[in-house]
Amino acid sequence: MSEPTGTDAGQAAEEPLSLEGKLSRLEEILVLLEADEVELERALALFEEGIGLVREAERLLARTELRVEQLLAGGETAPFEEREG
């Protein structure tokens, strides 16, 4: 089974994925991992990529939640900037 063409490693290095892009790539990874045709090394690499995407998405959601809480509390906030890392 071939890998979906949604994202390749070169594209991921050039521009960060949006939250939706991260979730889409996670779905692709799940499909690949659920297929019994994946070699162990490839499965491990996909799993590591997935864990990284989950962590990035969690950080993005935490920053977004904080901003929403600040807005609801009437506090001033800086414009939202998605940051990697």
CA atoms within 13 A on the CB side of 73: 9
Residue 11 in domain: no
Residue 79 in domain: no
Residue 61 in domain: yes
For 33-42, the pLDDT digits (tens) are: 998 889 999 9
Q: What's the structural domain count of the chain?
A: 1
The boundaries of the domain holding residue 51 are 17-72
Residue 81 in domain: no
Residue 3 in domain: no
Q: Are 53 and 26 in contact (CB under 8 A)?
A: yes
Q: Residue 12: which pLDDT band, with cuts at 50, 70 and 90?
A: very low
Residue 63 in domain: yes
Please state, in angstroms and rounded to a whole number, the distance separating the CA atoms of residues 32 and 39.
10
Residue 6 in domain: no
Total-model pTM? 0.66
Token digits of residue 25:
């790539």
Residue 21 in domain: yes
